[in-house]
Amino acid sequence: MKNIIPKRNERLTFRDTVVKGHIRSDRRSITDDYEPHWHDYFEIEILTEGELIHTLNGVPRELSAKSAYIVTPTDFHLVRPKTKAELWNISFSEDAISEKRFCSLMSVDRPSHFQLDGETATRVSTLAELISAEAEREDGGCSKELLECLLTVIFRSGDTQLPQNPSSDQLSGIKKAILYLELHFRESPSLNQVAEQAGFHPHYLSELFKKVTGQSYTERLNALRIGCAKTMLSSGFSVTESCYRSGFGSLSNFLLVFKKQTGVSPDEYKKRKL
């Protein structure tokens, strides 16, 4: 496999400027591999025909028609079609959805892949088509409302709901914390730094972070760094390069955290993937 640095796709733009509340829905055919990458935005893909292997944060999964997956700005993924794949691709920025929906999407308890029954598959494809038409309107039409409906239908297929009911102020602060962390995890920001961005006391943020996302601050930070390292190892980078490029300050700590999260050493993981 080629040595590919996981690419971070630039935030989607329209008319060469970043659009607040971006929503876009396109019908696509995939015949070639998508290199390891991650986004500054959310992505939903609904597979309508064909088969593919979707590798999310280093974990591959074979998918066939009538399936869907959701990718967040903290995820690393790779798409390899086994046959010609037809799908709907829906992308949207974090400010196109409510803060409650944002937190539910970022929750560690939320599944990423969904198998849809026939009726649900038809419904989500119809919603994707409606979003595509509405998003073309100058004012975006009712694309936000349709997107919320689409997410509700997909979540319902996995019987997934937001487990907590935080206040609007809490949701707003957690959203700021998560966004800051996902953009700066390679710099290993401290809890104090992230709390300052969220406008909370560090101790309060620590408790709220666990309550809303299901992970502690440190667990979330390490998950982001390990996800990045796994993608780099799978792409042919050395253990040392993967360690420091993903934000770890020492090789010994990297080896310890990696083994704890994956059950294998980075060397073993790399050998299995190459």
* pLDDT tens string 184-212: 888 889 999 999 888 888 998 898 888 88
**Do 21 and 113 fall into the same domain?**
yes
Choose the final residue of a domain: 123, 157, 191: 157
- d(CA 121, CA 105) in angstroms, rounded, equals 20
pLDDT of 231 > 60? The answer is yes
pLDDT of residue 14: 36
- d(CA 247, CA 144) in angstroms, rounded, equals 35
CATH number assigned to the domain comprising residue 21: 2.60.120.10
**Do 219 and 149 fall into the same domain?**
no
**Do 152 and 188 fall into the same domain?**
no
Q: Is residue 21 part of a domain?
A: yes
Q: Is residue 13 part of a domain?
A: yes
pLDDT tier for residue 162 given thresholds of 50, 70 and 90: very low
Q: Is residue 1 part of a domain?
A: no
**Do 126 and 216 fall into the same domain?**
no
The CB density around residue 203, as the number of other CB atoms within 10 Å, is 10
Choose the final residue of a domain: 92, 127, 157: 157
- Residue span of the structural domain in which 11 resides: 7-157
- d(CA 102, CA 172) in angstroms, rounded, equals 10
pLDDT of residue 75: 83
**Do 150 and 21 fall into the same domain?**
yes
Torsion 18-20-26-32 (CA) sign: positive
Query: Alpha carbon of 205 to those of 30, 101, 212: distances in Å?
Result: 42, 19, 10
Predicted TM-score (pTM) above 0.85 = no
Question: 41-45, 47-51, 135-139, 250-254: which range is least confident on average?
Answer: 135-139
Helical pair 191-198 and 168-184, crossing angle rounded to 10 deg: 130
Q: Is residue 163 part of a domain?
A: no
Name the one residue in this structure whose structure tokens are 């597979």. Answer: 47
Q: Is residue 2 part of a domain?
A: no
Per the structure, the count of domains in the chain is 2
The CB density around residue 45, as the number of other CB atoms within 10 Å, is 23
Nearest to 261 by CA among 210, 220, 202: 220
**Do 172 and 151 fall into the same domain?**
no
Per-residue pLDDT of 74-85, as tens digits, reads: 788 889 999 999
**Do 137 and 176 fall into the same domain?**
no
pLDDT of residue 159: 56
Q: Is residue 162 part of a domain?
A: no
Write the burial class of residue 147 (CB in 10 Å: 0-12 exposed, 13-18 middle, 19+ buried).
buried
Instruction: Provide mean pLDDT across the span 205-228.
Output: 87
Choose the final residue of a domain: 157, 188, 209: 157
